[in-house]
Structure 1
């Protein structure tokens, strides 16, 4: 089984690739959202990156939920993650539409966004209790990435709704990280 450090390295590599792709495509997208939107570039970048990040968490949850023999508490957490993040995706997509901006959703698809191919394969290959453990380990790292992104937009973003969402992500995902760590310890 991979260590958390190995998973973190793979996720960091994926994040760097996504950041590079976003930087390379930036000239094709409008430079700023409309002036009356209350959003700035930091808000747009956060939303465009968080949509596929949330989609990745939902895909991870779906992979886990398709397995049998998984601890019911881990399955319940996966359901909770899906239930929380799906409406957030809808809200972020609505903001992008309102701002006249495009979504980066679909970038890097073909896998669970934010995960390396080895990590994805590890989760898909795992079964029963091991699948639950792999899911928890990978989701901790995934949530840590979301918290980092949310903290960044709080530094530079201006849109009140985006700022509220970022604060909510930090709070809820930090709580879920604590829960997942305790599940791994028991």
Structure 2
């Protein structure tokens, strides 16, 4: 009987000690700023971005937001080529532009989300058609609503020439924006993407000018 009571007492002491250890561990965790809440936050994309707030700046945010809208318009223009262009070369170029810029839109949207920034909403056809001069001025190379209407109504060789002429201007605007990011941005992946934009779109401008018969 005595042995049984001793065993019960030891078991109770062991359980009590275990609970006390857990309490102390919890208190210690909250004391040094690494409790479970902070661990969960740090493991999330937003938490990581907050912890690395110095890795990006306002120029990176502005570049991402504006280039997303800029790319979206280029993709919309490129999608028209499949049913309106007469030249297979124009159709192939348009497909190449869409294939390159769609993934970049997703990449930049991911950055903004991880930074706790709002991803720009995709403009509807009505909003895009009503684009005013101020928006075009804010993002160089953006087409106005009248420009887009003209492109959408064109077909055949007229579409080819209009598309190429507009896309050259659109690319030149994107390059200007990318160069600003390379100068003012801080986030390594964003400045690298900006460099890629300059390289790829400079080459495409040369190709499009040759297609237009320009030297």
Inter-partner Cα distance in structure 1 for 2:123 and 2:90: 28
1:130 to 158, 172, 180: 158
Structure label with greater radius of gyration = 2
Inter-partner Cα distance in structure 1 for 2:67 and 2:206: 21
TM-score, normalised on structure 1? Answer: 0.77
1:39 to 31, 56, 74: 56
**What secondary structure does 1:106 align onto?**
coil
Q: Does 1:146 align with 2:174?
A: yes
**What secondary structure does 2:200 align onto?**
helix
Inter-partner Cα distance in structure 1 for 2:179 and 2:124: 23
Contiguous gaps of at least 5 residues in structure 1: 1-32
**What secondary structure does 1:175 align onto?**
helix
2:76 alignment counterpart? 59
**What secondary structure does 1:53 align onto?**
helix
1:183 alignment counterpart? 211
Inter-partner Cα distance in structure 2 for 1:49 and 1:155: 16
1:93 alignment counterpart? 109
- Cα displacement (A) at 1:66: 2.3
Inter-partner Cα distance in structure 1 for 2:86 and 2:181: 35
TM-score, normalised on structure 2? Answer: 0.67
Contiguous gaps of at least 5 residues in structure 2: 1-48, 132-141
1:104 alignment counterpart? 120
Inter-partner Cα distance in structure 2 for 1:46 and 1:108: 21
* Matched residues, number: 153
- Cα displacement (A) at 1:107: 5.4
Q: Is the 8 A contact 1:51 1:105 kept in 2?
A: no
1:169 alignment counterpart? 197
RMSD: 1.8
- Cα displacement (A) at 1:84: 0.2
2:67 to 43, 50, 57: 50
Query: C-alpha deviations, 1:27-68, integer Å up to 9, x for none?
Result: xxxxxx74614110000000000001000000001122222x
1:75 alignment counterpart? 91
